[in-house]
Amino acid sequence: MRLAGKVALISGGARGMGAAEARMFAREGAQVVIGDVLEADGRGVEADIKAKGGEAIFARLDVTNEADWQKAVGMAQSRFGRLNVLVNNAGIGGGGRIEDTTVEDWDRMMDINAKGVFLGTKSVIAAMRRAGGGSIINISSQLGLVGTDNSSPQYQASKGAVRLLTKATAIQYAREGIRANSVHPGPIVTAMTERRRADPAQRQLMVSRIPLGRYGEPDEVAYGVLYLASDESAFVTGSELVIDGGWTAQ
């Protein structure tokens, strides 16, 4: 098992990519803390993991709330004894042009997508230091690398912030054996992309920009996150893992 003996905290673990990561991590031997504001869905993932013989616990986690982060980290340590892996997966999306974006829209997305990653990272450093090191994996986007005309400016800015915060974290904590890497998925089949996928014109537009000609699946991202969480990536830090069907290769 690739994560045997490791304890992982996954934000946004109740649905989509986060739920796929939680299930995959548990199958690979990790003890998993599922952090989310969606309690019913999160407890459903917890129950599913346990039913299959894995170990998991749900923690209510609003990623914009520092106290929630501290409680989730504390839960990981009290329940499982340590914390080795953090996946900053929680995030929201949206469309719109700069001139139509309100300050409230901007602040909400930056709070969840960027400040949430900062707070998660800040909250796990001491625990990972006690564990002798760890791996922080931040879910950015292909739009954290390139711009596009049909996504909101705040989404793209927030995901770009995640990319650079990851590099700062990697440099600051490398000597302590704490690694940090960003993952940049393209369009994935999740609840976040459901509305766009349901519109034939929007779906065709998105697929036309993906050389592989389809949306990705959550497990296809989770396998990349699994690699970065495992000791197989022990010499990898400050890097970007792009899983976008070729979007950024054009």
Q: How far apart are the first and last CA of the chain?
A: 36
d(CA 38, CA 196): 22
Name the maximum alpha-carbon separation found in the chain: 51
Mean pLDDT, residues 234-244: 98
Q: Is 155 a catalytic residue?
A: yes
Which residue ranges make up each domain of the chain?
A: 7-241
- The CA dihedral of 88, 182, 55, 5, to the nearest 10 degrees, is -130
Average pLDDT for the chain: 97
Q: Helix, strand, coil: what percent of the chain each, to 5?
A: 55, 15, 30
Q: What CATH number labels 7-241?
A: 3.40.50.720
Which pLDDT score, from 0 to 100, does residue 193 have?
87
What is the pTM for the complete model shown? 0.96
User: How many whole angstroms from its chain centre is CA 181?
Assistant: 11
Which residue among the candidates 155, 173, 215, 223 is catalytic per the annotation?
Answer: 155
Digit-coded pLDDT (tens) for 164-200: 999 999 999 999 999 999 999 999 999 888 888 888 8
d(CA 31, CA 21): 12
SS (H, E, C) 75-137: HHHHHHCCCCEEEECCCCCCCCCHHHCCHHHHHHHHHHHHHHHHHHHHHHHHHHHHHCCEEEE
